[in-house]
Amino acid sequence: MDWQIPEDTVPSDFITDAQIRSILGKPPATGAWRDGDPVGRRQFAHIGDVTFENGGVVEDARIAYETFGTLNAAGDNAVLVAHALTGDSHLTGPAEPGHPTAGWWGGIVGPGLALDTDRYFVVAPNMLGSCQGTTGPASLDAEGEEWGARFPYTSIRDQVRAQHGVMSHLGLSRWHAIVGGSMGGMQVLEWGIEYPEAAERLAIIAAPPISSADQIALNSVQIEAIRADPLFHHGAYYNAKVGEGPHSGLALARRMALLNYRSPTELNDRFERSWQSGISPLGRGGRFAVESYLDFHGNKFTRRFDANSYITLVEAMNSHDVGRGRGGIIEALRRVTARSLIIGIDSDRLFPVPDQQLIAKHVPGNIDGDEATVISSKFGHDGFLIEFELVAQQLERLLAE
């Protein structure tokens, strides 16, 4: 499908829900990448059968990934980048067939940038359970049916073990560094604990050591928004006609999430109480600009993501507890031996700075002693996706010889 909508816009440039539908038509039942779609820059690693923590099994699991730069003769310049909840393997590069949006870390990955592709071989796998080429709920099982809601409950540890399979597929013995933010930061931390000798350096950005009750509560209402959509059909919607998938529920879940990703200050400063039409705010029929913003991004999201995958990945975030079966959080963090950088964002209300301070205090290889590095940003949790210069400065410190 040949369509692109700007990643962000000012209120006066918003495309309304009706305009999106008139331009693009009705959304498909799922925004997942499916076999037969343009491959784009993806490569695929078949990592064999995967046994999940909860006992579920998926045969012949496949991980989609992209690479940037060249592996050197010694094989010691590989950097793994783990993406956030709704990210994918497309770190940098334009929107093009197979990739509906431009790369999400284009200010960090590339020639001469912090993750310098003239120097490093950067690998970005799409996480297990996602929907952009990696085995997940939208994939076919051995009987040729979509897994849907039958896909095994997936944990962060399951995802990291799958990423380890990509490492084996590439013939790598050690990563020069592993970097990730948000859910990707959870995975980086799990790498450091589960495979302490697998990486020389770790960058854990805007992530906690455990998902709190508050964070799980925020996730639970997003999951229920999807399940409450009458077109969800208990996860069996893949053969639905165009426009008859669980778009409303998925868009609502995305709008809820965006409230956690941005800071109150940024939303207030950006939108105030500006109005999207000439109709009085005291009447009906018009919209506040911030409402239009949320609707715009919710609608766009349904065209590149899958509802079952969203549930699977949010539940994986809920599973996150580095101390589970390891004697508690502190004992687990003490297993990390790599040179480590822990970054927090001062306006992050999803995973606030005390989460990163707890990690920093107990990871022995923290380059800042027992403190986290705190970036000041008005953008909240999304700061690590926006404040390229600030993030780059910190990554360069970690990667310095």
Q: Which of 164, 168, 160, 154 is nearest to 185 (CA)?
A: 160
Kind of pairing between the strands at 109-110 and 339-345: unpaired
The CA-atom distances, in angstroms, between 275 and each of 238, 257, 286, 317, 345 are 37, 23, 7, 36, 30
CB 180 within 8 A of CB 188: yes
The DSSP call for residue 92 is S
Question: At 35, is the secondary structure helix, strand, or coil?
Answer: strand
Kind of pairing between the strands at 121-125 and 78-82: parallel
Q: Which helix (H) or strand (E) holds 115?
A: strand 115-116
Work out the angle between the directed axes of helices 156-169 and 307-319 (0-180°, nearest 10). Answer: 100
Burial category of 93 from C-beta neighbours within 10 Å (exposed 0-12, middle 13-18, buried 19 and up): middle
Kind of pairing between the strands at 78-82 and 109-110: unpaired
Work out the angle between the directed axes of helices 247-261 and 289-301 (0-180°, nearest 10). Answer: 120
Q: Annotated catalytic sites, by residue?
A: 182, 348, 381
d(CA 260, CA 383): 12
d(CA 301, CA 254): 7
